[in-house]
Amino acid sequence: MVFAVLFPGQGAQFRGMGADVFGRYPGLTRFACDLLGYDLVALCRDDPDGVLAQTRHTQPALYTVNALHMFERAHHEQRQADYYLGHSLGEYNALLAAGVFDFETGLRLVKKRAELMAAAHGGGMTAVMDTPEPQLREIFAADGVAGVDVAGFNTDQQLVIAAPDNVLHAAHIALKERGVRFAPLRVSAPFHSRYMAPARDEFEEFLRGFTFAQPQVPVIANVTGRAHRPGEMVRTLSEQLVEPVRWTDSIRHLLAADPELECEEVGGQSLLRMVARIRKATPVANSEVRN
């Protein structure tokens, strides 16, 4: 039976996270604080300045907490994964778990990624419910709303769109007039869209300064919904900033290998709920998975 371990991304943070693991890994925790230049434990425990939800802080904090939970999981010799995958930021924890880089390298990558994404502004993201992509594009075309990108395929019932503020405002009007349910996300920029191209270019150059090992366990890439391919780590991770998170394709890829796919989420339940919705909407198939 195929078993996958899932890592959540930005949006899964909460005040008090990490309280159960910081004390068990004091060395790694101190290192993270030193590299980041602030008290990560206090940030997660108290969020004294209300900045935990800011991209610059959210991503390194969540990467660290996810990593410590992963180390705790390994310490207790829990069931070994056949696949790792993470949602957006969570992909870095999946790559860490698969041995592609060590904790320090991952934290340096995430810190840079967070800084670049935080520097982007003038846009946002919105979750749209029960409206397939073709229908969504028809709605926007009918109302002359141009410049909306699909930034995430979370389930068949939920897409995420991204655009500059004025475009996103027009998109909201078009959706509201047709009774389509939507929920703006609390982010500062249109992540996973064409508008992140400048950040993508800078991040790609940064990534070229690192060496990546081959995954010891397959890691499903957000960009392709398939396992990372040899020699394409830099391109795939940089493209993740401008391409949609193909979570539905990723889970269906594993369901094709084993309809009885079992999953465990590190530190939460939101991804497991997505998996349950995707499974419910997926016809049973007996094809073999191909990387």
Residue 118 CA to residue 161 CA, distance in Å, equals 18
**Position 151: which residue type?**
A
Please check the confidence at residue 20 and state whether its pLDDT lies above 70. Answer: yes
Q: In the chain, what are the domains?
A: 3-120+194-280 (3.40.366.10), 123-184 (3.30.70.250)
> Strand locations in the chain, DSSP E?
3-7, 83-86, 123-129, 149-155, 158-164, 182-184, 219-220, 262-265
Report the DSSP pairing between strands 158-164 and 149-155: antiparallel
Exposed/middle/buried for residue 242 (C-beta within 10 Å: 0-12, 13-18, 19+): buried
Q: With 70 as the cut, is the pLDDT of residue 288 above it?
A: no
Average pLDDT of the residues in 200-212: 98
- pLDDT category at 71 given cuts 50, 70, 90 is very high
Supply the pTM of this predicted model.
0.95
DSSP string, 164-194: EHHHHHHHHHHHHHTT--EEE-S-SS--SSG
d(CA 5, CA 10): 17
Of 204, 224, 223, whose CA–CA distance to 109 is shortest? 204
- List the catalytic residue out of 57, 69, 87, 88: 88
Torsions phi, psi for 211 (to 5 deg): -110, 130
- CB-based contacts of 238, cutoff 8 Å, min separation 6: 200, 201, 203, 204, 207
Contact 98, 45 (CB under 8 A): no
Instruction: Specify the DSSP class assigned to residue 227.
Output: B
Backbone φ/ψ region at 172: left (φ over 0), alpha (ψ -120 to 50), beta? alpha
Q: Is 88 a catalytic residue?
A: yes
Phi and psi torsions of 83, nearest 5°: -145, 150
Q: Which of 86-100, 205-219, 240-254, 274-288 has the lowest mean pLDDT?
A: 274-288
Query: Which residues, at least 6 apart from 47, have a Cβ–Cβ distance to it below 8 Å?
Result: 15
- Length of the chain equals 291
Residue tagged 């009774």 (tokens): 179
Mean pLDDT of 50-67: 95
CA distance 216 to 231: 14
Provide the pLDDT for residue 15.
Answer: 94
List, in sequence order, every residue forming a beta bridge with 227; answer none if it has no partner.
220
> Which residues does 173 contact at the CB level (< 8 Å), separation at least 6?
143
* Residue 1 DSSP label: -
Catalytic residue among 57, 172, 192, 228: 192
The strand ranges marked E within 59-108 are 83-86
Sequence-distant (6+) residues with CB within 8 A of 15 are 44, 45, 46, 47, 52
Does residue 26 register a pLDDT over 50?
yes
* pLDDT above 90: percentage of residues in the chain: 91
Report pLDDT for 287. 43
Percent of the chain residues topping a pLDDT of 70: 97
